[in-house]
Structure 1
Amino acid sequence: MTNPHLTHLDLFQQAFAAKPTHFSQAPGRLEILGNHTDYNQGFVLSLAVDRHTQISLRKTQGSLCQLLSPQIETNIREFDLHSINSPLPNKDWLNYPRGIAHILQQNQHALTGFQALITSDIPLSAGMSSSAALEMALVSGLDALFELNLSNKAEIGQACENHYIGANTGLMDQLTSLNGKKDHLLLSEYRHLHLSHLPFPQQLAIVVVNTHVAHDLSQEYNQRRAECESALATLSQKHPDLHSLRDVDLPLLHQSRTSLSQEEYKRALHVVSENSRVHQAQSYLKTHDFTRFGHLLFESHQSSIQNFENSCPELNLLVDIANKSPRCLGARLSGGGFGGISIHLTRAADAAAYAKHVTHIYSQKSGKEATAFVCHSADGATVHPH
């Protein structure tokens, strides 16, 4: 297997005629359960995976930053730290590093110019949070490079998404990328930002199936978040002690149905039931009741179809195939939705055969190609001297 440090060293020297001083990497993530619950102060069960964004860096004089991402384009891109107050047009990938640098400067962190080489094996626009992995790899690298002693790396990534990119996302992606632990799931709650790790049973595996339906989440994501906030505002008129949808239970929601619009009710029902599924999953994992754990994934996807309306025909077909396969314990969309990936829970011994089966049947039924691979757990972001 190629050593990423050595490969990066060669590529960096070819590009910049100098040696990098630091190497950082951050994993992508899978949302196992807890769809759109993070920005509603709820609960999420996630997994940092063995797909990473890797960055080699060195400091330079002045304020010019030079970046190369050879998988995206062959040219070195540049920006000046004094002129990054607004994003570039046309969803340019350079907006992520520009946004991170901008937020750091807004937080009174002194930066000079730097050079960076960026590679990744995380599928783009698929729901595995390639953007958060880039943010956390870069923040971790810049933290070490400039000795910033950051304690809020996840929040810096979120601020980049919210205020620079324009996607009103929660913190789950960044927290998982930072705090993943090999052989464990990450259980996170978003009122007090409490994190804990649950062992991921060795008997299980996650097969990721990518529809290659690219999703641009900013518009739909922001709309769904606004609908959740609207539902909370309506509910809190009669129940002022409600601070987020995390505080709502199913009896209260059903009782309040007539005061909510159809959209508000459905969005809230999804979030409330997702929080419940995260809690149920913990007990099923402890007792190794994998059948019931898997069934929660199917329930979650059904709620995405009916209540949150963030699925698509390709994802629904994949989950339908999963439902009919004795090798699959559960499946659902993962991440923001509207395309991207589905996750399929199998026994470890069945994972490879199931991956072939599901892509074959999908191709037969849809005439389209999907790719499948087995994902393993990984540790969170790391940074080392080169």
Structure 2
Amino acid sequence: MKEQIIAQFQKAFGRAPEFVTRAPGRIEFIGNHTDYNGGTVLGASIDRGVWVALARRTDGKRRFFSAFAGEITEAAAGVPQAQTGKASWINYPLGVLAALPVFGLKAPEGFDYVAASDLPTGAGLSSSAAIELASALAFLEATGQRPDRETVVKIGKHAENHFVGVPCGILDQGVSGFGKKDHLVFIDCRGPKFATVPLPSDAHFWIFNTHHKHALVDGMYAARHRECMEAAKAIGVSLLVEASIQQLDAAKATLSSDAYKRAKHVIEEIARVEAANTALRAGDLAGVGKLLTASHRSSQNYFENSTPELDLLVDTLTGTPEVFGARLTGGGFGGAVMALTSARFGDAQAESVAAVYEKVYGTKPEILHCQTGDGAAVS
């Protein structure tokens, strides 16, 4: 990918880039919608992601290009303004530019910028966090600034929350930033605090992308966020991580049915994350798999961010040999399912799962066999 993005930059702008950075996509391993509720989460950075190439300009112009947009978009100098339509993809790097001063850092004045990706969009692999972190590293390199990794992660989250408008937690940016090959990233979102957990060598990730894209900005994500906050307030805690099921049940009469169900999912999901962390450290992949599938059922029945397409994939996968467990990955409302399998699960088994899906829905899901990878870096 590095050679490809350098060639794209040369073709778009007629010169070579000064800096190339990359940030990985991530698999939300377990911990669905726990992050903004102050809970814990486990994720994996993968060996696919977003690359950014950048060269500085002296005239203050900010020019953006990506292969998926296919044209150069110029943004006005000064305070970034959100874009709409075909140019809306640049809101991610623009959001990073807007966030830098918030953290006491300088944004580059003018530059040429190219982004490229080998992540499928809408698959729940967090291409948005990847482009935010790769952009942040490129902008910081261009201005000679080297903040710590936690600050870079927070810059990406700030861009997503305050410029793009998605009230996400720290999961996506944290895993993309702190990822490590052959490990999962464990995040206690109250700090936030980041740690890595070794992944047993027999563990493999398979992603089944339904191509039914989620659109988090359309309000469903925000509605779930609002319902969780409503439940926390009724219980008398600042965030649901501080609540128990007993406290939730005691407050049930004061809650809407939806708020109760969302909170039940979150509180029990936080417990599942802790149990999965313990099982991973013991090398108990069968135990981890049961927790993953339980997580999906909770998303399906209580958080209601699954879809019939995702449910069919989970049902099929969990009945397939060498699959430890499966669940939706990412925000939900479409996207993809992740299966945790042994090394003996291969292309033939994956194709048989896809065939079941195709028989029902008429299209085949995209299949990705992902490996873990390192976190965001200057290439």
Q: Secondary structure at the match of 2:327?
A: strand
In the superposition, relative to structure 1, how do residues 233 and 365 fare at CA in structure 2: closer, same or farther (>3 Å)?
Answer: same
The 5 Å alignment of 1:279-298 reads 279-298=274-293
Tell me the CA shift for residue 33 of structure 1: 0.5
Tell me the CA shift for residue 86 of structure 1: 3.7
Does residue 245 (structure 1) correspond to residue 245 (structure 2)? The answer is no
The one of 93, 113, 120 aligned to 1:97: 93
The one of 322, 328, 345 aligned to 2:323: 328
The runs of 4+ residues in structure 1 deviating greater than 6 Å are none
Q: Which residue of 1 aligns with 2:72?
A: 76
Structure 2 residue ranges without an equivalent (≥5): none
What is the letter of the counterpart of residue 281 of structure 2?
A: K
Deviations 1:313-340 (A, max 9, x none): 1101101111221232111101100000
Tell me the CA shift for residue 38 of structure 1: 0.5
Q: Which residue of 2 aligns with 1:124?
A: 121
Task: State which drifts further: 103-112 or 309-318.
Answer: 103-112
Contact conserved, 1:167 with 1:222, CA < 8 A, in 2?
Answer: yes
Tell me the CA shift for residue 83 of structure 1: 5.4
Deviations 1:79-121 (A, max 9, x none): 1222523443578112112222222245552421111121101
Does residue 374 (structure 1) correspond to residue 360 (structure 2)? The answer is no
Q: Secondary structure at the match of 1:206?
A: strand
Tell me the CA shift for residue 351 of structure 1: 3.5
Task: State which drifts further: 345-354 or 207-216.
Answer: 345-354
Q: Which residue of 2 aligns with 1:223?
A: 223
Q: Secondary structure at the match of 1:93?
A: helix
In the superposition, relative to structure 1, how do residues 110 and 322 fare at CA in structure 2: closer, same or farther (>3 Å)?
Answer: closer
Q: Which residue of 1 aligns with 2:173?
A: 174
Q: Which residue of 2 aligns with 1:13?
A: 10
Quote the Cα distance in structure 1 between the aligned partners of 2:10 and 2:83.
29
Tell me the CA shift for residue 199 of structure 1: 0.6
Contact conserved, 1:327 with 1:354, CA < 8 A, in 2?
Answer: no
Contact conserved, 1:22 with 1:56, CA < 8 A, in 2?
Answer: yes
Contact conserved, 2:161 with 2:167, CA < 8 A, in 1?
Answer: yes
Contact conserved, 2:221 with 2:331, CA < 8 A, in 1?
Answer: yes
Quote the Cα distance in structure 1 between the aligned partners of 2:87 and 2:58.
29
Contact conserved, 2:61 with 2:110, CA < 8 A, in 1?
Answer: yes
Contact conserved, 1:81 with 1:113, CA < 8 A, in 2?
Answer: yes
Contact conserved, 2:25 with 2:129, CA < 8 A, in 1?
Answer: yes
Does residue 188 (structure 1) correspond to residue 187 (structure 2)? The answer is yes
Quote the Cα distance in structure 2 between the aligned partners of 1:91 and 1:322.
38
Identity fraction in percent: 36
Deviations 1:9-39 (A, max 9, x none): 2222222111211110000000010000000
Q: Aligned-residue CA RMSD in angstroms?
A: 1.6
In the superposition, relative to structure 1, how do residues 235 and 366 fare at CA in structure 2: closer, same or farther (>3 Å)?
Answer: same
Contact conserved, 1:333 with 1:342, CA < 8 A, in 2?
Answer: yes
The one of 55, 61, 65 aligned to 2:62: 65
Q: Secondary structure at the match of 1:343?
A: strand
Quote the Cα distance in structure 2 between the aligned partners of 1:89 and 1:376.
34
Does residue 145 (structure 1) correspond to residue 138 (structure 2)? The answer is no
Q: Secondary structure at the match of 2:345?
A: helix
Does residue 263 (structure 1) correspond to residue 258 (structure 2)? The answer is yes
Q: Which residue of 2 aligns with 1:239?
A: none
Structure 1 residue ranges without an equivalent (≥5): 237-241
The 5 Å alignment of 1:14-53 reads 14-53=11-50
Tell me the CA shift for residue 197 of structure 1: 0.7
In the superposition, relative to structure 1, how do residues 190 and 106 fare at CA in structure 2: closer, same or farther (>3 Å)?
Answer: closer
Contact conserved, 2:322 with 2:344, CA < 8 A, in 1?
Answer: no
Q: Which residue of 2 aligns with 1:85?
A: 81
Contact conserved, 1:328 with 1:354, CA < 8 A, in 2?
Answer: no
Contact conserved, 1:87 with 1:99, CA < 8 A, in 2?
Answer: no
- Return the TM-score normalized by structure 1: 0.93
Quote the Cα distance in structure 2 between the aligned partners of 1:312 and 1:12.
39
Contact conserved, 1:206 with 1:351, CA < 8 A, in 2?
Answer: no
What is the letter of the counterpart of residue 378 of structure 1?
A: G
Q: How many residues align?
A: 375
Quote the Cα distance in structure 2 between the aligned partners of 1:77 and 1:91.
7
Quote the Cα distance in structure 1 between the aligned partners of 2:108 and 2:376.
21
In the superposition, relative to structure 1, how do residues 37 and 352 fare at CA in structure 2: closer, same or farther (>3 Å)?
Answer: same
Does residue 113 (structure 1) correspond to residue 92 (structure 2)? The answer is no
What is the letter of the counterpart of residue 225 of structure 2?
A: R
Does residue 350 (structure 1) correspond to residue 345 (structure 2)? The answer is yes
Deviations 1:157-192 (A, max 9, x none): 112111111111111101111100000000101111
- Return the TM-score normalized by structure 2: 0.95
What is the letter of the counterpart of residue 61 of structure 1?
A: T
In the superposition, relative to structure 1, how do residues 344 and 91 fare at CA in structure 2: closer, same or farther (>3 Å)?
Answer: farther
In the superposition, relative to structure 1, how do residues 292 and 110 fare at CA in structure 2: closer, same or farther (>3 Å)?
Answer: closer
Task: State which drifts further: 346-355 or 114-123.
Answer: 346-355
Contact conserved, 1:105 with 1:111, CA < 8 A, in 2?
Answer: no
Tell me the CA shift for residue 7 of structure 1: 2.5
Tell me the CA shift for residue 287 of structure 1: 2.3
